[in-house]
């Protein structure tokens, strides 16, 4: 703190609260909230507090078990609906410290786990000190230090309220900020926190015992979203994860180029050497293209209703784009779900207009779309009503194509 500055006034009276207190002590979340309105928003969320979803209660699990029972290596006699142990363990990963490993094959779309944060609070990284008073001469570094000091003071209060088991788990997490002025509790928060939700207009972050152990990948095999009702983060596989493979997440925006990712990963002490970071010219171009994916439904409606346009006009580029996203390992992106949706609409038109040839292609993409959409937070990318309305619009336009002979595009088989 600058010597001539008044002490940073605690303009915001923080609220320290333990939520939701509905189960085992270790399931409690210590929360630092910036306002009474934030607390109200937290606890008045519909159906709050729900128990954390467990693997054996997740609707995806029967499918998971069915797929496991076909796999000789993993068939250990568990029946459908049986309680299954967690499909992961925390273990040493070569050159990365601890990480999360799959203990059995996890199919695309499967629910992996849910976890409540040990601690939830305003995001330290984004604190800009607007609530604190500084002299005009205070340098950026002095301001930063003052913010960290204030953050540590608040975090220490919340930490003291934590269950001892949780305190131990918290302090065992990696701290990449040991020499930049962060206090120890702040350092762990800055290294391990996930953005979880917005309350009263402010972004909150959570530190997790197991989820915070997941290492970064520029091509992660999971996606997660925060479930406000259970106050827990849900983790899903976005592609098949083989038994023994590392389960990965992402710490930065994945559609930005390598240089920007490297800058964003630096505070975590990560120098990523993945394929996308090594051979980055091609990958950067692919990711830029993926970042520009927009709503193609109007174009699909126009094409469906114009029999003069070739059958494969949109299908070919759409399937090619899916391949690009898969090659980049970005099945967890919103763009992938959106392009799958476009593929499903296009194939539905062709199935109506050209018959059964398209069914197999359609069913595979539709299943994948439904599976991956189920991994994302509810309503993200569109509601059921919106999908229904769009499908009806596309199919109505497709009637014109159904009465016409195929134009160009050739056989469905050639479009795979
Ligand atoms: Zn990378």
List, for residues 331-385, the tens digit of each pLDDT value: 999 999 999 999 999 999 999 888 767 788 888 899 899 899 989 888 787 888 9
Taking the centre of ligand 1 as the mean of its atom positions, its distance from the CA of residue 414, in whole angstroms, is 34
First to last CA, the chain: 63
Predicted confidence band at 184 (pLDDT cuts at 50, 70, 90)? very high
- Output the CA 292–ligand 1 centroid distance in Å: 20
Q: pLDDT value at position 49?
A: 92
Average pLDDT over residues 203-212: 96
Going from the Cα of 284 to the center of ligand 1, the distance in angstroms, rounded, reads 11
Lay out the sheet containing 222-227: strands in order across: 111-115, 232-237, 222-227
Instruction: Find the 266 Cα to ligand 1 centroid distance in Å.
Output: 12
pLDDT in tens, 237-249: 999 999 999 999 9
CA of 257 to the centre of ligand 1 (A): 10
Would you state the pLDDT for residue 53?
Answer: 81
Q: Which of 32-46, 133-147, 360-374 reaches the highest mean pLDDT?
A: 32-46
State the pLDDT confidence band at 5, using cuts at 50, 70 and 90: very low
pLDDT at residue number 200: 93
Separation of 206 CA from ligand 1 center, angstroms? Answer: 24
Give the tens place of pLDDT for each residue, 254-309: 999 999 999 999 988 899 989 999 989 999 999 999 999 999 999 999 999 999 99
273 alpha carbon – ligand 1 mean position (Å): 5
Burial call 356-374: b when 16+ CB within 10 Å, e when fewer: eebeebbeebbebbebbbe
Distance 220 CA to ligand 1 centre (A): 10
Residue 329 CA, ligand 1 centroid: distance in Å: 11
From the CA of 255, how far away is ligand 1's center (Å)?
Answer: 11
pLDDT at 6 over 80: no
Average confidence (pLDDT) over 36-54: 92
Tokens of 203: 């972004």
pLDDT value at residue 126: 60
pTM equals: 0.85
Centre of ligand 1 to C-alpha 193, Å, is 20
What is the signed CA dihedral for 120, 125, 128, 129, rounded to 10 degrees? 60
Measure 274 CA to ligand 1 centroid, in angstroms: 4
pLDDT tens column, 315-325: 999 999 999 99
Q: How far away, in angstroms, is 254 Cα from ligand 1 center?
A: 9
| CB-based contact 341:369 (threshold 8 Å) | yes
Q: Give the pLDDT band (50/70/90) at residue 206.
A: very high
Mean pLDDT along residues 390-412: 75
| pLDDT value, residue 269 | 86
Q: Is the pLDDT of residue 226 over 90?
A: yes
User: Taking residues 193-206, what's their average pLDDT?
Assistant: 93
Confidence of residue 405 (pLDDT cuts 50, 70, 90): low
For residue 114, what pLDDT is reported? Answer: 93
Q: Residue 58: what pLDDT?
A: 47
The full DSSP string for 252-299 is S-TTS-HHHHHHHHGGGT----SHHHHSHHHHHHHHHHHHT----HHH
Q: How much is the pLDDT for 9?
A: 45
Measured from the Cβ of residue 131, the count of other Cβ atoms closer than 10 Å reads: 14
Three-state DSSP at 306 gives coil
The residues pairing with 223 across neighbouring beta strands, listed in sequence order, are: 236
> Which range is least confidently modeled, 130-134, 251-255, 337-341, 384-388?
130-134
Distance 399 CA to ligand 1 centre (A): 46
- Is the model's pLDDT at 82 over the cut of 60? no
pLDDT grade for 128, boundaries at 50, 70 and 90: low
What pLDDT, in 10s, does the model give residues 55-65? 544 445 445 44
Helices (H), 161-223: 164-171, 184-192
pLDDT at 67 over 70: no
Mean pLDDT, range 95-119, rounded to an integer: 94
**Is there a contact between 27 and 45 (Cβ–Cβ < 8 Å)?**
no
* Residues 6+ positions from 340 with CB-CB distance below 8 Å: 322, 365, 368, 369, 372
List of E strands, 68-152: 88-93, 97-102, 111-115, 119-122
Query: Where are the domains positioned within the chain?
Result: 259-288, 293-415
**Mean pLDDT calculated for residue range 194-207:** 94
- Average pLDDT over the chain reads 85
Query: Is the confidence at residue 2, as pLDDT, over 60?
Result: no
Asked whether the bond before 49 is cis by omega within 30 degrees of 0, the reply is yes
Beta-strand pair 194-199/246-249: unpaired
Residues 357/411, Cβ–Cβ less than 8 Å: yes
Q: How many C-beta atoms surround the C-beta of residue 107 within 10 A?
A: 17
Distance in Å, CA 186 to ligand 1 centroid: 26
Backbone angles phi, psi at 174, to 5 degrees: -65, 145
3-state secondary structure of 126: helix
Q: How far apart are CA 36 and CA 254, in angstroms?
A: 35
According to the model, what pLDDT value does residue 197 have? 95
Q: What is the DSSP letter of 7?
A: P
Q: What are phi and psi of 195, to 5 degrees?
A: -65, 130
């Amino acid at each position: 703190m600058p010597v001539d500055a008044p002490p940073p006034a605690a303009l915001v009276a923080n609220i320290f609260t333990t939520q939701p207190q509905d189960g085992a002590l270790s399931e409690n979340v210590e929360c630092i909230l910036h306002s009474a309105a934030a607390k109200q928003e937290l606890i008045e969320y519909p159906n709050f507090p729900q128990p954390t979803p467990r693997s054996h209660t997740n609707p995806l699990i029967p499918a998971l078990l069915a797929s496991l029972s076909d796999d000789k290596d993993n068939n250990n006699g568990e029946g459908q609906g049986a309680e299954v142990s967690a499909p992961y363990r925390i273990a040493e990963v070569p050159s990365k410290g601890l990480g999360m490993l799959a203990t059995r094959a996890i199919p695309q779309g499967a629910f992996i786990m849910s976890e409540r944060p040990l601690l939830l609070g305003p995001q330290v990284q984004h604190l800009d000190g607007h609530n604190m008073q500084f002299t005009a001469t205070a340098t950026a570094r002095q301001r930063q230090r003052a913010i960290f000091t204030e953050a540590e003071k608040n975090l220490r209060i919340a930490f003291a309220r934590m269950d001892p088991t949780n305190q131990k788990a918290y302090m065992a997490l990696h701290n990449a900020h040991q020499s930049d002025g962060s206090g120890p509790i702040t350092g762990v928060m800055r290294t391990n926190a996930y953005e979880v939700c917005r309350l009263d207009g402010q972004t909150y972050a959570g530190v997790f015992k197991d989820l915070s152990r997941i290492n970064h990948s520029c091509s992660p095999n999971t996606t997660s979203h925060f479930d406000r009702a259970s106050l827990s983060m849900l983790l899903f596989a976005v592609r098949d994860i083989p038994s023994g493979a590392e389960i990965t997440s992402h710490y930065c925006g994945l559609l930005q180029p390598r240089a920007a990712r490297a800058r964003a990963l630096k505070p975590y002490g990560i120098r990523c050497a993945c394929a996308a970071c090594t051979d980055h010219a091609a990958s950067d171009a692919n990711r830029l293209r993926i970042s520009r994916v927009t709503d193609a439904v109007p174009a699909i409606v126009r094409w469906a209703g114009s029999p003069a346009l070739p059958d494969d006009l949109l299908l070919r580029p759409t399937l090619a784009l899916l391949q690009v996203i898969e090659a980049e390992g970005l099945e967890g992106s919103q763009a992938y779900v959106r392009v799958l949706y476009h593929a499903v609409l296009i194939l539905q038109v062709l199935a109506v207009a050209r018959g059964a040839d398209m069914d197999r292609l359609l069913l595979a993409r539709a299943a994948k779309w439904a599976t991956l959409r189920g991994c994302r937070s509810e309503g993200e990318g569109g509601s059921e009503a919106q999908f229904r309305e769009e499908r009806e619009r596309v199919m109505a336009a497709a009637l014109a194509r159904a009465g016409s002979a195929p134009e160009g595009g050739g056989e469905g088989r050639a479009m795979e």
